Amino acid sequence: MNKFKCLKSTFSLLQVTIMAKRNLADYKTFNRVLEESKIIVALTGAGVSAESGIGTFRGPGGLWRTHRAVDLASPLAFRANPALVWEFYHWRREVAFAAHPNNGHIALAKYEKKCKEQGRSFTIITQNVDGLHRRAGSENIIELHGNLTKVICTKCKFIEVKENNPICEALRGRGDPSQKDADVPEIPLSELPKCSACGALARPYIVWFGESLDPDILDQARTLVETCDLFLVIGTSSVVYPAASFAPFVVERGKPVAEFNIDEEPASANFQFHFPGKCGSTLPKTLGIDI
């Protein structure tokens, strides 16, 4: 057993040594690979929006009021207390609507336009729901987990965009994380957001814990992962499935993966490129975009 541990430690040290000798932040080589790629796909996560002031969807200390986000972002929570869940999402919407796209968002949008002019394909698959990619000018976006600007009817499943803030008058001034539930009167069900098609209760168009991704959206993402020439992992630790499986699959296909993350070390030893630092700085430089 001790011999096995020793061998394992030696192997891990060897991996680190090999990675240290590789120049993962090789801008020149990456630029050549980038220019030769016809189908480019970027997977983005919370790290891109962090520079716009949007952290995780939790409040100070990892909680919103006294609630964990996982206890609110679920179908069960919505059935039990739709008013409380809507207050939480009203707060999230206000945070997102007050934020502005940063240089990382803008660089991706400008690069998409450049690819279009050159007859190449560039698509963003995002795990974010804040809508900042679209506000920055990106058009080819696959939103895996939904969007805070949209709602879906709990009855007829009609999906619509609701960019008015507050989304309904009853939510005005609500959602303050510092408040206590007991100090805030519950909003009547009749005053919560309604479907404009049938009048039934609407809920945020967000994929909640315990729910599956929209199969059509997932198929679109998988098709891109199966056909891309270059895959960019941007601002995400890639631990949430199925998105976590995308980069490893591209590696298995023998195609290059480039990671852009605040961490100094890459998430995988199999990634060909790793550019540490803030995405607002690394993306314009690597994509050759003037901001």
Say whether 251 counts as a known binding-site residue: no
Say whether 182 counts as a known binding-site residue: no
Say whether 223 counts as a known binding-site residue: no
- Out of 67, 105, 133, 145, which one is annotated catalytic? 145
Say whether 252 counts as a known binding-site residue: no
Say whether 228 counts as a known binding-site residue: no
Do β-strands 202-206 and 146-153 pair in parallel, antiparallel, or remain unpaired? antiparallel
Say whether 130 counts as a known binding-site residue: yes
Say whether 181 counts as a known binding-site residue: no
Say whether 146 counts as a known binding-site residue: no
Say whether 168 counts as a known binding-site residue: no
Q: Is 145 a catalytic residue?
A: yes
Residues belonging to the binding site for Zn(2+) are 153, 156, 195, 198
Residues belonging to the binding site are 45-64, 89, 92, 127-130, 153, 156, 195, 198, 235-237, 261-263, 279
Active site (catalytic) residues:
145
Residues belonging to the binding site for NAD(+) are 45-64, 127-130, 235-237, 261-263, 279
Residues belonging to the binding site for substrate are 89, 92
